[in-house]
Structure 1
Amino acid sequence: MKKILLSISVSLGIYNFAQEKADIPVVDTTKAWSIQGQNTLMLNQAAFSNWVGGGANNVGWLAGVNYNMTYEKGKDLWENIIILGYGQNNTKGIGTRKTQDVINLSTNYGREFAKNWYLSGGASLQTQFAGGFEDGNNPDAKKLSNFMAPGYLNIGAGVTYRPNDNFTMTLRPANARWTFVLDEDLQYAGTYGLKNDGDSSLFQFGFLGTAIYKLKIMENINLINTGSVFSNYIDHPERLVLSYSGVLNMKINKFISTNITVDLLYDHNQIRRTQLKQTLGVGLAYNFESGKKRSDNKSNQSWLK
């Protein structure tokens, strides 16, 4: 009898312990915030002495940061992007010229309403740090641009499609776009679409579509493609503002990499020709990743590792 009672007691104890463990809520240790970033410093230099083929001594540098900060929890998705870059080249007999100058900030919040689809709203700002001039950015030449001249601010709402970490597309049928020209020397009619002399801004309302596609070509070689299109409902909707940016990153080791960038832009209000910018740099690049995303396929982020 004692043995039977002992067996029943042990069985009840094990059962109660198992029930208590089952009642303990499972703690989700996955972080809602994740941060991916790249810091770069590219250097180039050339020196000549009694070189019959000719050439001018020069030294250049280019520094930049590219951060992607994402919040994912439940049906909420909030992505923030910070891209900053500036570079100069000094050539003997010519002086210092700007080779890179970009400020690109954006934020987009979405609430999932169907698998991979989000109702979203967000804003973005694009401008530059310093003045741009004709004749290869010669500061003695005619000024073409400056900080917030132009500066582009977009605020809009629409939908975002994000099937994985490598592809994001946002469509905003309702998007307000302001073009700012805060440099008084550039505030005359026709510049960046300004209607009258002395105007400091231009308002447009229309459709904005953006997309980012990250492609891992092979081990340590990846390509980031970014594109956008804007159509102004108010005036000449057929005059699309088109832009494309491609960044090819070839990683040599943990701290050294080669970057090739290509930027294409067509904006009727700037010049009626396609603009092209291309850079090549070899130097220091430090990548980091903090936080674990909730995405089903974590390997989608392997392009950055």
Structure 2
Amino acid sequence: MKKSLLLISISLGISAAAQETKADAPVVDTTKSWSIQGQNTLMLNQAAFSNWVGGGANNVGWLAGVNYNMTYEKGKDLWENIVILGYGQNNTKGVGTRKTQDVINLSTNYGREFRKNWYLSGGASLQTQFAGGYEDGNNPDAKKISNFMAPGYVNVGVGVTYRPNDNFTMTLRPANARITFVLDEDLQYAGSYGLKNDGDSSLFQFGFLGTAIYKVKLMENINLTNTASVFSNYIDHPERLVLAYGAVLNMKINKFISSNITVDVLYDHNQIRKTQLKQTLGVGFAYNLDNGKKRSEKKDNQSWMKK
């Protein structure tokens, strides 16, 4: 009996020790430092008429785009990379093919946290378009007013980034170089996009750049993303601000179908001394990519695109 009690005691002791060792074992961090969220879209529209008294012209159109956010988070390091590409066309009988969307927007921003939610940061961005734009509704027979890298805007600067959560990000760069490229020789004349002399292919500006992104969930499967930016050139006419605002309303119908409404407002004295406005509406296919949660639990990047 005593031997049996001894064996039971030893067994319980070994079991308890094993459980304690297991409890004290370090927890493996399986959260990924890199997270990738993205959306691929293809919007289609079509209209056909035959003996229709109300009138109308047969037309077919398409719009394709990608929106990716690749983020690295580890310790105090934060590195965000954004890729936005979009292009669309519409073909109307009797009018021909016209461009309806054309955008290239690439940006990268690295920050090192120095205070809660505040980062010393530096980054760069590129904004341009894929194809030529024309004065008369993108009619190739009309006067050309833009093209690939004409203009193309490159921003490089340093400052601070404030990011309390993934629904709001603000970056302030008191030292920012803005270079306007006009690589199409047909557009290289004085006054075009601020160029000083005929034949110039670029314009250098140095000033302040502020950007902000604010995301709002209006209701289930309906989200609004707001972006805004302001640039002031220290070197020449700092009062001539370059102002931009964009809004994207995403309405998810199901896993693969969604509807998007976009609005863009821009004022740039060097482009045209008028406020520019662009609006699009599309319904079509959308495929979302999400490789998992980010390291910071409070930041759920581009959560409005999750499945």
Same fold (TM over 0.5): yes
Partner residue in 1 for 2:80: 79
Q: 1:54 to 1:11 in 2, by over 3 A?
A: closer
Give the Å deviation of 1:113.
0.7
After the TM superposition, which residues 193-204 of structure 1 pair with which residues of structure 2 at under 5 Å, given as runs? 193-204=194-205
Give the Å deviation of 1:22.
4.8
Worse overlay, 282-291 or 105-114: 282-291
After the TM superposition, which residues 113-192 of structure 1 pair with which residues of structure 2 at under 5 Å, given as runs? 113-192=114-193
Partner residue in 1 for 2:236: 235
What is the count of residue pairs matched by the alignment?
A: 305
Worse overlay, 6-15 or 60-69: 6-15
Partner residue in 1 for 2:249: 248
Partners of 1:301 and 1:141 in 2: CA distance: 40
Partner residue in 2 for 1:290: 291
Q: Please give the secondary structure, in 1, of the residue aligned with 2:289.
A: strand
Partners of 2:254 and 2:28 in 1: CA distance: 37
- Post-superposition Cα deviations, 1:1-33, rounded to whole Å, max 9, x if no partner, equal 757865774465346434533553221000111
Partner residue in 2 for 1:94: 95
Structure 1 counterpart of 2:54, which letter? G
Q: Please give the secondary structure, in 1, of the residue aligned with 2:180.
A: strand
Partners of 1:251 and 1:119 in 2: CA distance: 36
Partner residue in 1 for 2:259: 258
Q: 1:282 to 1:118 in 2, by over 3 A?
A: same
- What TM-score, normalized by structure 1, do the two folds share? 0.95
- Post-superposition Cα deviations, 1:77-126, rounded to whole Å, max 9, x if no partner, equal 11110000000011111100000000000000111111111111100000
Structure 2 counterpart of 1:56, which letter? A
Structure 1 counterpart of 2:49, which letter? F
Q: Please give the secondary structure, in 1, of the residue aligned with 2:295.
A: coil
Structure 2: state its 5+ residue gaps.
Answer: none
Partner residue in 1 for 2:276: 275
Is the 8 Å Cα contact of residues 149 and 186 (structure 1) preserved in structure 2?
yes
Q: Please give the secondary structure, in 2, of the residue aligned with 1:303.
A: helix
Partners of 2:50 and 2:89 in 1: CA distance: 23
Partners of 2:85 and 2:117 in 1: CA distance: 29
Q: Please give the secondary structure, in 2, of the residue aligned with 1:226.
A: strand
Root-mean-square deviation over aligned CA pairs: 1.7
Give the Å deviation of 1:150.
0.2
Is the 8 Å Cα contact of residues 294 and 301 (structure 2) preserved in structure 1?
no
Q: 1:279 to 1:257 in 2, by over 3 A?
A: same
Is the 8 Å Cα contact of residues 85 and 101 (structure 1) preserved in structure 2?
yes
Partners of 1:63 and 1:144 in 2: CA distance: 23
Q: Please give the secondary structure, in 2, of the residue aligned with 1:137.
A: coil
Q: Please give the secondary structure, in 2, of the residue aligned with 1:148.
A: coil
Partner residue in 1 for 2:28: 27
- What TM-score, normalized by structure 2, do the two folds share? 0.94
Q: Please give the secondary structure, in 2, of the residue aligned with 1:20.
A: helix
Give the Å deviation of 1:50.
1.1
Is the 8 Å Cα contact of residues 165 and 295 (structure 1) preserved in structure 2?
no
Is the 8 Å Cα contact of residues 33 and 292 (structure 1) preserved in structure 2?
no
Partner residue in 2 for 1:62: 63
Partners of 2:187 and 2:302 in 1: CA distance: 43
